[in-house]
Chain A
Amino acid sequence: MTKRPPITNRVRELRELHGAMSQAALGEAIGVTRQTVIAIEQGRYSPSLESAFRIARLFGVGLEEVFGWEGE
Protein backbone atom coordinates (compact mmCIF):
# COMPACT_ATOMS: atom_id res chain seq x y z
CA MET A 1 0.00 0.00 0.00
CA THR A 2 1.16 3.53 -0.73
CA LYS A 3 1.79 5.79 2.27
CA ARG A 4 -1.02 8.21 3.02
CA PRO A 5 -0.05 11.86 2.70
CA PRO A 6 -0.30 13.82 6.00
CA ILE A 7 -2.84 16.21 4.54
CA THR A 8 -6.50 16.31 5.51
CA ASN A 9 -9.21 17.95 3.47
CA ARG A 10 -12.87 18.97 3.54
CA VAL A 11 -13.47 18.50 -0.18
CA ARG A 12 -16.36 16.08 0.22
CA GLU A 13 -18.03 18.32 2.81
CA LEU A 14 -17.63 21.43 0.66
CA ARG A 15 -18.85 19.58 -2.40
CA GLU A 16 -22.00 18.55 -0.56
CA LEU A 17 -22.49 22.10 0.72
CA HIS A 18 -22.37 23.32 -2.86
CA GLY A 19 -25.57 21.68 -4.04
CA ALA A 20 -24.22 18.15 -3.78
CA MET A 21 -21.85 18.76 -6.66
CA SER A 22 -20.83 15.44 -8.17
CA GLN A 23 -17.24 14.19 -8.08
CA ALA A 24 -17.23 14.15 -11.87
CA ALA A 25 -18.39 17.80 -12.02
CA LEU A 26 -15.72 18.85 -9.52
CA GLY A 27 -13.10 16.93 -11.46
CA GLU A 28 -14.13 18.57 -14.69
CA ALA A 29 -14.11 22.01 -13.07
CA ILE A 30 -10.54 21.67 -11.80
CA GLY A 31 -9.16 19.55 -14.66
CA VAL A 32 -8.73 16.13 -13.07
CA THR A 33 -10.53 12.80 -13.40
CA ARG A 34 -13.31 11.60 -11.11
CA GLN A 35 -10.89 8.95 -9.80
CA THR A 36 -8.48 11.68 -8.73
CA VAL A 37 -11.26 13.54 -6.88
CA ILE A 38 -12.12 10.28 -5.11
CA ALA A 39 -8.45 9.76 -4.18
CA ILE A 40 -8.23 13.34 -2.84
CA GLU A 41 -11.40 12.96 -0.76
CA GLN A 42 -10.21 9.68 0.69
CA GLY A 43 -6.87 11.26 1.62
CA ARG A 44 -4.86 8.94 -0.62
CA TYR A 45 -3.61 11.69 -2.93
CA SER A 46 -2.50 15.25 -2.24
CA PRO A 47 -3.40 17.51 -5.13
CA SER A 48 -0.91 19.87 -6.70
CA LEU A 49 -0.84 23.42 -5.40
CA GLU A 50 -2.59 24.56 -8.56
CA SER A 51 -5.44 22.07 -8.13
CA ALA A 52 -5.68 22.91 -4.42
CA PHE A 53 -6.13 26.59 -5.30
CA ARG A 54 -8.66 25.69 -8.00
CA ILE A 55 -10.70 23.69 -5.48
CA ALA A 56 -10.58 26.49 -2.89
CA ARG A 57 -11.52 29.15 -5.44
CA LEU A 58 -14.34 27.02 -6.82
CA PHE A 59 -15.87 26.76 -3.35
CA GLY A 60 -15.09 30.42 -2.58
CA VAL A 61 -12.97 29.67 0.50
CA GLY A 62 -9.34 29.97 1.51
CA LEU A 63 -6.84 27.20 0.98
CA GLU A 64 -6.56 26.48 4.70
CA GLU A 65 -10.32 26.06 4.97
CA VAL A 66 -10.07 23.16 2.53
CA PHE A 67 -6.75 21.56 3.46
CA GLY A 68 -5.03 20.94 6.75
CA TRP A 69 -1.84 19.32 7.99
CA GLU A 70 -2.22 16.17 10.06
CA GLY A 71 0.32 15.19 12.70
CA GLU A 72 3.69 16.79 13.51
Chain B
Amino acid sequence: MSFKEKSAWVMAVVMTVAGLYYLKIVLDASGQIGMTAPPFPILIAYVVLVVIASINAQIILALSSPKEANAPADERERPMLDRAGNWSGYVLAAGVVTSLLHFLAHNDGFLLFHTIMGSLIVAQIAEYAFQILLLRRSS
Protein backbone atom coordinates (compact mmCIF):
# COMPACT_ATOMS: atom_id res chain seq x y z
CA MET B 1 0.00 0.00 0.00
CA SER B 2 1.43 3.38 -0.99
CA PHE B 3 1.87 6.22 1.48
CA LYS B 4 -0.82 8.22 -0.31
CA GLU B 5 -3.30 5.38 0.13
CA LYS B 6 -2.40 4.93 3.80
CA SER B 7 -2.83 8.66 4.28
CA ALA B 8 -6.21 8.59 2.51
CA TRP B 9 -7.40 5.71 4.75
CA VAL B 10 -6.30 7.51 7.91
CA MET B 11 -7.89 10.81 6.87
CA ALA B 12 -11.10 9.07 5.78
CA VAL B 13 -11.36 7.51 9.25
CA VAL B 14 -10.56 10.83 10.97
CA MET B 15 -13.14 12.70 8.89
CA THR B 16 -15.79 10.00 9.37
CA VAL B 17 -15.32 9.92 13.16
CA ALA B 18 -15.27 13.73 13.33
CA GLY B 19 -18.32 13.93 11.07
CA LEU B 20 -20.23 11.50 13.28
CA TYR B 21 -19.15 13.51 16.34
CA TYR B 22 -20.42 16.69 14.65
CA LEU B 23 -23.73 14.99 13.83
CA LYS B 24 -24.08 13.75 17.41
CA ILE B 25 -23.46 17.14 19.03
CA VAL B 26 -25.82 18.85 16.58
CA LEU B 27 -28.56 16.29 17.31
CA ASP B 28 -27.92 16.44 21.09
CA ALA B 29 -27.98 20.24 21.13
CA SER B 30 -31.04 20.36 18.93
CA GLY B 31 -32.82 17.91 21.27
CA GLN B 32 -31.96 19.98 24.35
CA ILE B 33 -33.06 23.36 23.09
CA GLY B 34 -35.85 22.19 20.83
CA MET B 35 -34.32 23.50 17.65
CA THR B 36 -31.23 23.16 15.54
CA ALA B 37 -28.41 24.47 17.70
CA PRO B 38 -26.57 27.71 17.02
CA PRO B 39 -23.57 26.61 14.98
CA PHE B 40 -20.56 28.49 16.34
CA PRO B 41 -19.54 26.38 19.42
CA ILE B 42 -20.28 23.19 17.51
CA LEU B 43 -18.19 24.36 14.60
CA ILE B 44 -15.27 25.26 16.89
CA ALA B 45 -15.41 21.85 18.60
CA TYR B 46 -15.52 20.10 15.23
CA VAL B 47 -12.65 22.10 13.72
CA VAL B 48 -10.45 21.59 16.81
CA LEU B 49 -11.15 17.84 16.74
CA VAL B 50 -10.37 17.54 13.03
CA VAL B 51 -7.17 19.62 13.22
CA ILE B 52 -5.77 17.77 16.27
CA ALA B 53 -6.73 14.32 14.99
CA SER B 54 -5.37 15.03 11.48
CA ILE B 55 -2.05 16.37 12.77
CA ASN B 56 -1.58 13.41 15.12
CA ALA B 57 -2.51 10.89 12.44
CA GLN B 58 -0.16 12.47 9.88
CA ILE B 59 2.71 12.58 12.42
CA ILE B 60 2.27 8.89 13.21
CA LEU B 61 2.13 8.05 9.49
CA ALA B 62 5.18 10.19 8.72
CA LEU B 63 7.17 8.58 11.55
CA SER B 64 6.34 5.13 10.16
CA SER B 65 7.70 6.02 6.70
CA PRO B 66 9.52 9.38 6.75
CA LYS B 67 10.99 9.14 3.25
CA GLU B 68 7.63 8.55 1.57
CA ALA B 69 5.97 11.21 3.71
CA ASN B 70 8.26 13.89 2.29
CA ALA B 71 7.83 12.80 -1.31
CA PRO B 72 5.19 14.56 -3.42
CA ALA B 73 2.64 12.50 -5.36
CA ASP B 74 4.31 10.96 -8.39
CA GLU B 75 3.19 11.11 -12.03
CA ARG B 76 0.83 8.11 -11.66
CA GLU B 77 -0.72 9.30 -8.41
CA ARG B 78 -1.24 12.98 -9.33
CA PRO B 79 -4.00 12.44 -11.95
CA MET B 80 -5.79 10.07 -9.56
CA LEU B 81 -5.70 12.59 -6.71
CA ASP B 82 -6.92 15.28 -9.12
CA ARG B 83 -9.75 13.04 -10.35
CA ALA B 84 -10.77 12.23 -6.76
CA GLY B 85 -10.88 15.97 -6.02
CA ASN B 86 -12.95 16.56 -9.15
CA TRP B 87 -15.46 13.83 -8.30
CA SER B 88 -15.77 15.01 -4.69
CA GLY B 89 -16.64 18.44 -6.12
CA TYR B 90 -19.75 16.85 -7.64
CA VAL B 91 -20.65 15.35 -4.26
CA LEU B 92 -20.28 18.78 -2.67
CA ALA B 93 -22.33 20.43 -5.41
CA ALA B 94 -25.13 17.87 -4.99
CA GLY B 95 -25.19 18.48 -1.23
CA VAL B 96 -25.17 22.25 -1.59
CA VAL B 97 -27.92 22.29 -4.22
CA THR B 98 -30.05 19.94 -2.10
CA SER B 99 -29.47 22.14 0.96
CA LEU B 100 -30.41 25.30 -0.93
CA LEU B 101 -33.59 23.71 -2.30
CA HIS B 102 -34.49 22.60 1.22
CA PHE B 103 -33.88 26.15 2.45
CA LEU B 104 -36.14 27.55 -0.27
CA ALA B 105 -38.89 25.17 0.81
CA HIS B 106 -38.53 25.46 4.62
CA ASN B 107 -36.62 28.71 5.19
CA ASP B 108 -34.57 27.24 8.06
CA GLY B 109 -31.20 29.04 8.20
CA PHE B 110 -29.72 26.89 10.97
CA LEU B 111 -30.56 23.74 9.10
CA LEU B 112 -29.07 25.25 5.94
CA PHE B 113 -25.83 25.86 7.84
CA HIS B 114 -25.71 22.29 9.11
CA THR B 115 -26.60 20.69 5.79
CA ILE B 116 -23.94 22.74 3.99
CA MET B 117 -21.46 21.80 6.71
CA GLY B 118 -22.54 18.16 6.35
CA SER B 119 -22.06 18.40 2.58
CA LEU B 120 -18.51 19.67 3.10
CA ILE B 121 -17.76 16.78 5.46
CA VAL B 122 -19.33 14.16 3.18
CA ALA B 123 -17.52 15.58 0.14
CA GLN B 124 -14.20 15.41 2.00
CA ILE B 125 -14.84 11.81 3.04
CA ALA B 126 -15.87 11.04 -0.55
CA GLU B 127 -12.59 12.54 -1.82
CA TYR B 128 -10.56 10.18 0.37
CA ALA B 129 -12.78 7.26 -0.65
CA PHE B 130 -12.26 8.10 -4.35
CA GLN B 131 -8.51 8.37 -3.75
CA ILE B 132 -8.47 4.92 -2.16
CA LEU B 133 -10.60 3.48 -4.96
CA LEU B 134 -8.45 4.93 -7.75
CA LEU B 135 -5.13 4.13 -6.08
CA ARG B 136 -6.20 0.55 -5.33
CA ARG B 137 -7.63 0.01 -8.80
CA SER B 138 -4.33 0.91 -10.44
CA SER B 139 -1.94 -0.87 -8.08
The residues of A with any CB-CB pair to B shorter than 8 Å are 1-2, 31-36, 38-39, 44-45, 47-48, 51
B75 contacts A35, C-beta separation under 8 Å: no
The answer to whether A48 and B75 have CB atoms under 8 Å apart is: yes
Please report the C-alpha to C-alpha distance between residue A51 and residue B74 in the assembled complex, in whole angstroms. 11
Chain A contacts for B4, CB-based, 8 A: 33
B139 touches A32 (CB 8 A): no
Closest to B73 in A: A33
Q: Is B138 touching A2 in the complex (CB atoms < 8 A)?
A: yes
B residues near A44, Cβ cutoff 8 Å: 138
> Which B residues are in CB contact (< 8 Å) with A31?
74
Interface string of B100-139 (1 = CB under 8 A from A): 0000000000000000000000000000000000010111
Closest to A1 in B: B137
Q: Bound state CA distance, A35 and B2, in angstroms?
A: 7
CB closest chain-B residue, reference A45: B76
- Please judge, given known A-B contacts A33-B68, A35-B2, whether A51 and B139 are in contact too, CB under 8 Å: no
| A to B CB contacts below 8 Å, 18 in the list | A1-B137, A32-B74, A32-B75, A32-B76, A33-B2, A33-B4, A33-B71, A33-B74, A33-B76, A35-B2, A35-B76, A38-B139, A39-B76, A39-B138, A45-B76, A45-B138, A48-B75, A51-B75
